[in-house]
Amino acid sequence: MTTLAKPSVWEKFFWPLLTAVLLLAAWKYSVKWSGTQVFPSPASVETGMLELLRHHVLWADIADSLRRVAFGFGTAALLGIPLGLVLGWYPAMHQVFNPVIQLLRPISPIAWIPIAIVLFGIGDHAATFLIFLGAFFPIVVACAGGVSGVPVIYRRTARNFGLRPAQILARVVFPAALPQILIGLRIALGIAWLVVVAAEMIAVDSGLGFLVIDSRNSGKRYDLVVAAMLMIGLIGLALDTAFRRLEKIRSVRWGFRDEY
Amino acid sequence: MAAEATIPLSSRKAKLQMRDVSFAFERDGKSIPVLDKISLDIGDGEFVCVVGPSGCGKSTLLNVMAGFLSPTTGMVAINGETVRRPDPRRIMVFQDHGVFPWLTVEGNIEFGISGLSTAERKERVAHYVQMVRLQGFEHTYPPDLSGGMKQRLQVARALAMNPDVLYLDEPFGALDAITRVMMRSELLRIWQAERRTIIFVTHDVDEAVQLADRIVVLSSRPARIQDVHSVDIPHPRNISSSGYLQHRDDLLQKIGLAYSA
């Protein structure tokens, strides 16, 4: 933002709301005027959403999707953060592992689906594995970058104050890299939420991704397809918003500002 | 204190000794000499400024003294003990970005003294918070401090280690002119209260003449000692007195020679 004038409170809500209303109207009238029999109108999506809620399938699907993301993303963080720290800390390790990581990183988790099914069969483990793959590499790369980007002055100060290497890592390098690590985790969580939907379309028979594909396959219920899509968007937004709250913690806030 | 300043330097016990210290950087397989056979004795409790043309190797000299860099030839000793690595008894204060932004003022000062008991730690933090005049900011994070306050915090964190030598690498170089003048008198006040040995690198001649017992003038790279200039004016120094101006002009002339050398 470069404008000096601060938007007033009503403007903060008015403009986004206006955009939403205009989009809904555009959606409604394009469905109406095109005379499509397939694509649902906003009203029928709303009915579909209520129907899903009434039959309690939606909550179970949401819980399944969130559980898979929690396991896949959690494992990726648990393994990816230490590996990233080590790669950033020891240039020799970086030299050994970086080419392999850079080769594997651009492969979409979707391409891993056949391998995942061979390894884990159809089921939760295959889906979790795909989410893990999607989240793991961004976490490793962000951690390694965060650590190698720690200013030399911080390391020198730590050595000057008599810290041993393990203490330098725990008390200086980790906190100094933490803002970068959080950014990596946030990107990885977003990817995990993208991947879970794809994985559930193929590897399992529950979750929001399954809901999307199942609504289409069993009776072409596009109202339910779009309702599930909107739900995916809302939960993704909620996850990201929740994660961004971590950036407000005092000991990392310095890393998210322009100054200093 | 004024009496101590008049004791001849030769009779003081040498705290730090440098003997024929040379240092060269390796870059692209070539060796670039930075320091050329520097020999220097610094007395206990002495305030020494190092000045010289920019890029001459002032900071390198300080880094060698502090043990961050090993001399290519020659040796550095403190209290007769060869310096091989950084040591918590000798603390370096950097020009900028020296304090840890993820710790409060209190957390920064406590950083190096986690081995002490809680009571001792609290006492030391309180003492140095007061000494650098940061009372009321104990729980503030560095991004909310001004540049001058950050540098005072860095000095407090260094002093809390109870070091016998303080290395300052252009510590006020990134501050505005008014803050810089105030920081000099603060540093002098602290030095007079605690009498640590201070080795202070600066490119500012006024700063050197206001602060130092002795000023080491380096030549351009590879740095040799061009001159060692004693400033025998008692503190506080009147910056418009003829004696002060004489020292300043002498020094500027020597640095001018260093540039042309």
φ, ψ of residue B167 in degrees (nearest 5): -100, 125
Average of per-residue pLDDT across B148-157: 90
Average of per-residue pLDDT across A201-229: 89
Q: Answer whether A254 sits within 8 Å of B102, measured CB to CB.
A: yes
Report helix, strand or coil for B90: strand
Question: Is the residue at B110 inside a domain?
Answer: no
A137-146, B101-110, B180-189: least confident range: B180-189
Could you report the per-residue pLDDT of B194-213, keeping only the tens digit for each? Answer: 888 999 999 888 888 888 88
Place of tokens 């002032």: B58
Question: Cα(B136)–Cα(B145) distance, rounded to whole angstroms?
Answer: 12
Number of structural domains, chain B?
Answer: 1
Residue B227: domain span: 9-89+163-260
State whether residue B141 sits within 8 Å of chain A by CB.
Answer: yes
Q: Check residue B6 and give its pLDDT.
A: 44
Which CATH number characterizes residue B190's domain?
A: 3.40.50.300
Question: Is the residue at B111 inside a domain?
Answer: no
Average of per-residue pLDDT across B54-65: 88
Q: Does B3 have pLDDT greater than 70? A: no
Question: Is the residue at B213 inside a domain?
Answer: yes
Question: Is the residue at B69 inside a domain?
Answer: yes
Looking at CATH, the fold of the domain delimited by A59-256 is given as MetI-like fold (1.10.3720)
Q: Which residues contact B143 (CB under 8 A, 6 or more apart)?
A: A253, A254, A257, A259, A260, B101
Asked whether B150 and B102 are in contact (CB, 8 A), the reply is: no
Question: Is the residue at B108 inside a domain?
Answer: no
Q: Answer whether B97 sits within 8 Å of A259, measured CB to CB.
A: no
Q: Answer whether A254 sits within 8 Å of B143, measured CB to CB.
A: yes
Percent over 90 (pLDDT), chain A: 64
Question: Cα(A152)–Cα(A166) distance, rounded to whole angstroms?
Answer: 17
**Closest CA relative to residue B211, chosen from B201, B223, B219:** B201
Q: Does B101 have pLDDT greater than 50? A: yes
Say if residue A114 is exposed, middle or buried (CB neighbours under 10 Å; 0-12, 13-18, 19+): exposed
State whether residue B102 sits within 8 Å of chain A by CB.
Answer: yes
Could you report the per-residue pLDDT of A118-167, keeping only the tens digit for each? Answer: 999 888 999 999 999 999 999 999 999 999 999 999 999 999 999 998 89
Q: Does A1 have pLDDT greater than 70? A: no
Average of per-residue pLDDT across A182-194: 95
Q: Does A47 have pLDDT greater than 50? A: yes
Radius of gyration of chain B measured on its C-alpha atoms: 18
Average of per-residue pLDDT across B14-43: 89
Q: Break chain A into its structural domains and give their ranges.
A: 59-256
Q: Bigger pLDDT: B12 or B46?
A: B46
State which residue of chain B sits closest to A156, comparing Cα positions: B68
Q: Does B11 have pLDDT greater than 60? A: no
